[in-house]
Structure formats: structure tokens, C-alpha cells
Amino acid sequence: MGDFLDNRAIGVFDSGLGGLTVVKQLMKVLPNENIIYFGDTGRVPYGSRSDTAIRRYAGQDVNFLLSNDVKLVVAACGTVSSVAPDVADGLPVPFVDVVQPAARVAAQSTRNGKIGVIGTAATIASGSFERAVHACNPEAQVVHNSCPLFVPLVESGWFDCNDPVVINTVERYLQPIIDAGVDTLILGCTHYPILSDAIASVMGEEVSLINIGIAAANTVANILDCHDIRGHHEHVKNHFFVSDTVRSFEQTASILLGENADFDVEHIDIEQY
């Protein structure tokens, strides 16, 4: 790290609260950086929408973060990273997606060369993770499945691995991946780590689950160093913004990030950006 300190916040966005799994990893890897987060809770889910809609939403999300003078933008959304990576074109600040870093980790960590990918319908249809894995390991065999009910389950607060509705849904989507004999499974949507207890219990402990937030947070740290834009706040205060009601987001964010996390949540009208 150089002597220069850049105390602007890191900007992070997702369709809803799933991107908080990336925020959680950023808080671990970069504990002295402030984060500005936008969760588009009024328009979630993105993953079942057209590419045109996803592109438009992603552009507005990035514009909102830039209007808050962030120093880097993280698309903490597998769907945006897969369908609208061009939202990064011409940005005045560095941009990190969640596909490339996770694909690299999966390609390096598989032992039997069989990698599973789960994500939203739009992510799986885009083939993004498959391409990114093959760019690192052309021999890898990739099997995938979309899991459209996972995001609504998580957004509704249904992620207890003892809940039969949760376990039955997870089993239904993961059976083809289990049958393919993968040893590594990319959770290709940032909502999915919230279901990781249920996913781990269905997949079995010999399968490694790749949390795309961990790989992305490490990439963010590297980029801050490369651009010499690390900051240092003694007391970190994060600002979260949502496009729907504040209250339920606040409650889930406290559960996900732990009671020591200091943040506030505000509502914004994303259509203005």
C-alpha cells in the first residue's frame, strides 16, 4: 500500500439482499473501507427478466453508485455480471464482477474436473460461468442448473436448513448436479450463500461450495492495491440504499452481517438514475 489514502467508499449493488453476502466478505477482507450498497428490492428478481430489462436496471444501479462518488463498483449480482458485463464499459472507476474470480477458483480447486454451476435462469442461459471456467481449464466438464425459486425463498426469509420446504426445493434443483458427480459447485448467484447450509447438507461434505463473494472480495482488495486507492477509516459506517421498504431489509441485513455491523438503510427512487 502506498502513502496515499482514498477514503471514498466502495460501491456495491445487487437486485436485492443477496449482494450482502459480498458485503460480508468485503468487510472481512477490507475492514477499514466504507461501503455504499444498493439493493434493488423493488425490482427483484432480475434473473427471470429479459436481457434488455437487466441491462437497463444495471445501468441505473451503476449511475446511482457513481452519483455517490464511489471509487470502485462491484456488481454483486451473478445475473448482471453474466448478462450485462458491458455496463463496465467507459466507467470512470474500476469495476469488479462476480463471475470471473469465482470461475478461476473453481477451475483451480476441482480434483475430478467436474464442476457444477447453479444460478438464475438468465445467468445459466448466458453460459457465462461455463465460458469463464473453460478459459482457465478447457478440459473441465461443467454441468449447470437454474434455480428460479431460490431468490424468492431467500428474499422471503426462508433459508432455515431444517425447513422441509427449503430442503425439498434445494434437493429438486440439485439432483441433476449430484447425478453428474461434481466435486465443486459454484453458487453462481449472490443470494445462494444464504442457503449454503441447506445446499451443503444436500450436496454432501465432499463437494466444495464456491461462494462467489469470497473470490470477488479478494479481487477488490487486489485492485485497490494496484490502483493505490486503499482507504482507512477508524470507524467504518456503511450506507445501504433500497428501492422498496427499509424495515425488512434492515432486519435481514442485521442477521446476515452480525450485530456489530454499523450501517443505515435509506429508500431511494432508482428510476431517477
Q: Does 191 bind ligand DGL (CB under 6 A)?
A: yes
The three cell numbers of residue 52 are 434488455
The residue range among 61-69, 169-177, 184-192, 223-231 that interacts with ligand DGL, by the rule CB under 6 A, is 184-192
Q: Which residue, 97 or 231, is less far from ligand DGL as judged by CB? A: 97
Question: Quick check: 189 binds ligand DGL (CB under 6 A)?
Answer: yes
User: Per CB under 6 A, does 190 bind ligand DGL?
Assistant: yes
Q: What are the angstrom distances between the C-alpha of 190 and each of 91, 93, 98, 112, 221? A: 23, 22, 8, 25, 19
77 flagged as catalytic: yes
Is 136 catalytic? The answer is no
Shortest spacing between CB 77 and ligand DGL, in angstroms: 4
C-alpha cell at 197: 447450509
Nearer CB in complex with ligand DGL: 119/231: 119
The residue type of 197 is D
Q: Which is nearer to ligand DGL, 5 or 53 (CB)?
A: 53
183: its cell numbers = 466435486
Q: In this chain, which of 10, 35, 65, 77 binds ligand DGL, going by CB under 6 A?
A: 77
> Counting contacts by CB under 6 A, is residue 13 touching ligand DGL?
no
Under the binding rule (CB under 6 A), the answer on residue 46 touching ligand DGL is yes
Residue window 78-117: x/- pattern of binding to ligand DGL, with contact defined by CB under 6 A: xx--------------------------------------
* Least distance to ligand DGL, CB of residue 27, Å: 18
Least distance in angstroms from the C-beta of 213 to ligand DGL: 10
47 touches ligand DGL by CB under 6 A? yes
Candidates 30, 132, 147, 151; binder of ligand DGL (CB under 6 A) is 151
CA–CA separation, 26 and 221 (whole Å): 8
What's the chain's Rg over C-alpha atoms? 18
Separation of alpha carbons 201 and 188, rounded Å: 18
State the residue for C-alpha cell 442461459: 125
Using the minimum distance from each CB to ligand DGL, give the nearer residue, 12 or 207. Answer: 12
| Strands of the 184-187 sheet, one edge to the other | 141-146, 114-119, 184-187, 208-211
Question: Of residues 136, 147, 161, 189, which has the active-site annotation?
Answer: 189
Kindly report the number of other CB atoms within 10 A of residue 38's CB atom.
Answer: 26
Instruction: Compare residues 43 and 267 and give the one whose CB is closer to ligand DGL.
Output: 43
* Cα dihedral value 64, 69, 74, 75, nearest 10: 10
Give the alpha-carbon dihedral of 156, 159, 160, 162, to 10 degrees: 110
- Name the residue whose CB lies closest to ligand DGL: 47
15 binds ligand DGL (CB under 6 A): yes
Name the β-bridge partners of 267.
242
Active site residues: 77, 189
Q: Which residues bind ligand DGL (CB under 6 A)?
A: 14-16, 18, 44-47, 77-79, 120, 123, 151, 189-191
